[in-house]
A and B are shown apart, each in its own frame.
Chain A
Amino acid sequence: MSRSVSGGASSGRTANSGLPAPIVVPTINANDRIVMLAEWSRPHADEVEPGTVVATVESSKSAAEIEAPAGGRLHWAVPSGARVATGTVIGWIVGLSAAIPPVPRLGEDAGRPCTDSARRLIAELGLDMRGVPGEGLITEAMIRQLAGAPDSGVGTAAETPSDGPSEPAMRGVCPPAKPARAAPVPAFMSRSVAKGPVDAFLDARTGSAVTATDIFLKAQGIALQEFTAWKRGSGGDRIALAITTEAGLIAPAIDDPAARTLDEIARWRIAAMRHVAVGAGAVEARPPTFAFTNLAGQDIEVFVPNLFGGLSATLGLGLRKADQPEWTLCLSFDHNVSDGFYAARFLGSLAELITNPEQLDLA
């Protein structure tokens, strides 16, 4: 199954205005930063209308069709079959009279500068160099970030001190520099919480649309109010609900769940899921946002949720099995937003709210 997305980086731009409109690889599955350009649906240099499906990209789980962001002539910047990263410009819609260079060949050196270790890694991953987003020198850290691979510990990292507290002393002059680390290293912690009280609470509300997910959303909203630093980072009280669909992961966000009743949250959730189901897409979370993933629908009992795309933290909840008295909550977080102490405190507050769900109904 596939879904269609506009390949344009910005709306309203047309190639006929003189500026080429880029065709950008969208995120089709948050866990796959590298996807394959399965095919170009229209020939190189073909004339296309805005919204025409011009390409199909495939991740490990799903596929997406990319539409022309503008009308004009299609210019392939990357050949079919190339492995490219999300966010990459794979082609352009140019004006009808613009000169179009020939189709690049697969595996051809893109001419973009690249460090030796990044070049080796690109070859290992089978990535097309044109499929690395951004501009300038391609570094190993960039490729590792795309591939979601941990830092190799080679090169600079092995020869230089880490970004720990022993970093060279410039303190007192300026804030310490951000470490030259590409991807934040996700850490996680988990806590068990009794589900009996939630079961009893839901049983008592027969006929209501409220589910455990809504209880968790509201409880997280309340528990997060304590963490002002997180709120500053996220720009508000917003929680994204990660919904896995066959087309990939969608994360619509709800504003200020702490101030809403459980019924309001349930209505929002149902509407968001319908929105996703009809393929209309949903308003996706803008990072940094706290996210909540419930993989019960996938029969998953316990998992460590992935931290992706600038999310400040992600809480994962697994399957409710009848014979299990507890859930395991799993929180993954990024040490530049919170540290272990605060994360533990958050999980503690959350567990307390979940085991006393009646108090959530009072608001």
Chain B
Amino acid sequence: MNFVESLNQALRTRMSEDNRVYLLGADIGDPYGGAFKATRGLGDTFPGRLLSTPVSEAALVGMAAGMALNGLLPIVEIMFGDFLGLTFDQLLNHATKFPALYGADCRCPVVLRSPVGGGRGYGATHSQSVEKHFLGMPGLRVVALGPHSEPLSVLREVQQDREPTLIVEAKSCYGEPMRDAHYWRTRSWCHERFELGGCPATAISPVPREQCRVTVLAYGAMAVRLEPLIWRHAVERELFCEMLVLTVLNARDLRPLIERIAVTGRAITIEEGAAGWHWGAGLQDRLRQLRGFGATHFETLAARAAPIPSGLANEELAQIHDAEIHLALDRITRRP
């Protein structure tokens, strides 16, 4: 099963097991089934609970927040992550504030899901990884879904929350096979799940993690891209890395990460989003404040802080190159 099929299955299961679950979004109904077909078939099965809406992201998130306040569990699809900007006020000044402003009984578990990232040549306003702009918003859990994360357990977890959740989906990985235990076993990777921020995260490495020299932190499409690079480093150089593929990007309790990074003593975040006030920088800052972490060697690698050009060939120029990743892994391994 590939990622988008798994996502579709998870949405179907959630709608079957809880009739408070509603889907909202532009063009998500059948026969179109959404721009990336995540909701295909659901409109026919649950005609009253899949609401195809006009293209007005602010209105639609405001409506969903109201539904959530009234006890429903809306899941909103924003067709491209780039348009999450239009939802910003609804999240910043409304949905994330309600539980804080109106007390313990007030719940607003609205879920936004949106495809992000490049790899399709869609240009400056359809290829961005915009999650960094939402990571510091108090009361908003930011979750990255891709082939490494099992969508159903994530949806079940975040819909129990009092507060809103933004799910960013690896757009270029919708067709990728899901990375389950069988997937890793048949490819000779060591594989483990661990919990971070209430959702399962994945740890993979070519050899047992005690033999790894570097911890790589990544999520979404970048994690998929890093798999062959990490394997190549292992086979050609015997430079072994453990990759932690995170699901919750702004988890409050980072102890599970600390414990894993302690095994190698060196860590690097690699992300598709643009550098400058990015995910890795924020994570580094938070980890540094934890006792004993200051001496760990930590680096971050992010894409150029520039608009993404149109066309795949030009887009590649703006992304992190494989050579940069290889150099960074080499450099960090050599650090005393």
Stretch touching chain B among A10-18, A45-53, A171-179: A171-179
Determine the distance from Cα of A255 to Cα of B292 in the docked complex, in whole angstroms.
44
Bitwise interface map of B from 294 to 326 toward A, beta carbon under 8 Å scored 1, else 0:
011100000000000000000000000000000
Bitwise interface map of A from 132 to 164 toward B, beta carbon under 8 Å scored 1, else 0:
000111011100000000000001100111000
Q: Are the C-beta atoms of A136 and B239 separated by less than 8 Å?
A: no
CB distance from B299 to the nearest CB of A (A): 13
Q: Are the C-beta atoms of A177 and B236 separated by less than 8 Å?
A: no
Q: Are the C-beta atoms of B265 and A177 separated by less than 8 Å?
A: yes
Bitwise interface map of B from 227 to 242 toward A, beta carbon under 8 Å scored 1, else 0:
0000000111111100
Determine the distance from Cα of A166 to Cα of B335 in the docked complex, in whole angstroms.
11
Q: How many residues of A contact B (CB 8 A)?
A: 30
Determine the distance from Cα of A141 to Cα of B206 in the docked complex, in whole angstroms.
14
Within 8 Å by CB of A170, from B234, B292, B333, lies B292
Stretch touching chain A among B14-22, B109-117, B207-215: B207-215
Bitwise interface map of A from 67 to 89 toward B, beta carbon under 8 Å scored 1, else 0:
00000000000000000000000
Within 8 Å by CB of A139, from B238, B266, B293, B330, lies B238
Q: Are the C-beta atoms of B334 and A159 separated by less than 8 Å?
A: yes
Within 8 Å by CB of A115, from B236, B258, B261, B333, lies B236
Determine the distance from Cα of A37 to Cα of B295 in the docked complex, in whole angstroms.
51
- Would you call A339 an interface residue if the criterion is a C-beta within 8 Å of the partner chain's C-beta atoms? no
Q: Are the C-beta atoms of B263 and A177 separated by less than 8 Å?
A: yes
Task: Decide yes or no: A113 and B235 within 8 Å by CB, A177-B264, A180-B210 being known contacts.
Answer: yes
List which B213-230 residues lie within 8 A (CB) of chain A.
213
CB distance from A106 to the nearest CB of B (A): 23
Q: How many residues of B contact A (CB 8 A)?
A: 35
- Would you call A167 an interface residue if the criterion is a C-beta within 8 Å of the partner chain's C-beta atoms? yes
Within 8 Å by CB of B240, from A161, A167, A173, A180, lies A180
Q: Which residues of B contact A141 (CB under 8 A)?
A: 211, 238
CB distance from B191 to the nearest CB of A (A): 10
Q: Which residues of A contact B259 (CB under 8 A)?
A: 174
Determine the distance from Cα of A166 to Cα of B295 in the docked complex, in whole angstroms.
12
- If over half of A's interface residues share one DSSP class (helix, strand or loop), that class is named, otherwise mixed; here it is loop
Q: Give the residue name and chain of the B residue nearest to A177 (CB).
A: B263
- Would you call B48 an interface residue if the criterion is a C-beta within 8 Å of the partner chain's C-beta atoms? no
Within 8 Å by CB of B188, from A135, A161, A172, lies A135
Bitwise interface map of B from 115 to 128 toward A, beta carbon under 8 Å scored 1, else 0:
00000000000000
- Would you call A349 an interface residue if the criterion is a C-beta within 8 Å of the partner chain's C-beta atoms? no
Determine the distance from Cα of A177 to Cα of B211 in the docked complex, in whole angstroms.
9
Q: Are the C-beta atoms of B295 and A169 separated by less than 8 Å?
A: yes
- Would you call A102 an interface residue if the criterion is a C-beta within 8 Å of the partner chain's C-beta atoms? no
- Would you call A207 an interface residue if the criterion is a C-beta within 8 Å of the partner chain's C-beta atoms? no
- Would you call A274 an interface residue if the criterion is a C-beta within 8 Å of the partner chain's C-beta atoms? no
Q: Give the residue name and chain of the A residue nearest to B213 (CB).
A: A160
- Would you call B181 an interface residue if the criterion is a C-beta within 8 Å of the partner chain's C-beta atoms? no
CB distance from B5 to the nearest CB of A (A): 28
CB distance from B289 to the nearest CB of A (A): 13
Task: Decide yes or no: A159 and B239 within 8 Å by CB, A168-B336, A169-B295, A178-B210 being known contacts.
Answer: yes
Q: Which residues of A contact B239 (CB under 8 A)?
A: 155-156, 159
Q: Which residues of A contact B210 (CB under 8 A)?
A: 177-178, 180
Most chain A Cβ neighbours within 10 Å, of B238, B240, B263, B296:
B238
Task: Decide yes or no: A160 and B238 within 8 Å by CB, A169-B296, A177-B262 being known contacts.
Answer: no
- Would you call A358 an interface residue if the criterion is a C-beta within 8 Å of the partner chain's C-beta atoms? no
Q: Are the C-beta atoms of A168 and B262 separated by less than 8 Å?
A: no
Bitwise interface map of B from 75 to 114 toward A, beta carbon under 8 Å scored 1, else 0:
0000000000000000000000000000000000000000
List which A103-124 residues lie within 8 A (CB) of chain B.
112-118
Task: Decide yes or no: A155 and B291 within 8 Å by CB, A137-B188, A177-B264, A178-B210 being known contacts.
Answer: no
CB distance from A336 to the nearest CB of B (A): 13
Task: Decide yes or no: A113 and B236 within 8 Å by CB, A160-B333, A173-B258 being known contacts.
Answer: no
Q: Which residues of B contact A115 (CB under 8 A)?
A: 234-236, 238
Bitwise interface map of A from 162 to 202 toward B, beta carbon under 8 Å scored 1, else 0:
00001111111110011010000000000000000000000
Within 8 Å by CB of B265, from A135, A159, A168, lies A168
List 5 additional contacts besides A156-B240, A156-B333, A170-B292; criterion CB under 8 Å.
Answer: A114-B235, A136-B207, A139-B211, A169-B265, A180-B210
B residues apposed to A, CB below 8 Å: 188-190, 206-207, 210-213, 234-240, 258-259, 261-266, 291-293, 295-297, 330, 333-336
Q: List 11 A-B contacts (CB under 8 A).
A: A116-B235, A139-B207, A139-B238, A156-B239, A160-B213, A160-B334, A168-B295, A168-B336, A170-B261, A173-B293, A177-B210
Q: Which 8 A-B pairs have the closest CB atoms?
A: A169-B295, A174-B262, A173-B292, A168-B265, A172-B292, A155-B238, A180-B211, A170-B265
A residues apposed to B, CB below 8 Å: 112-118, 135-137, 139-141, 155-156, 159-161, 166-174, 177-178, 180
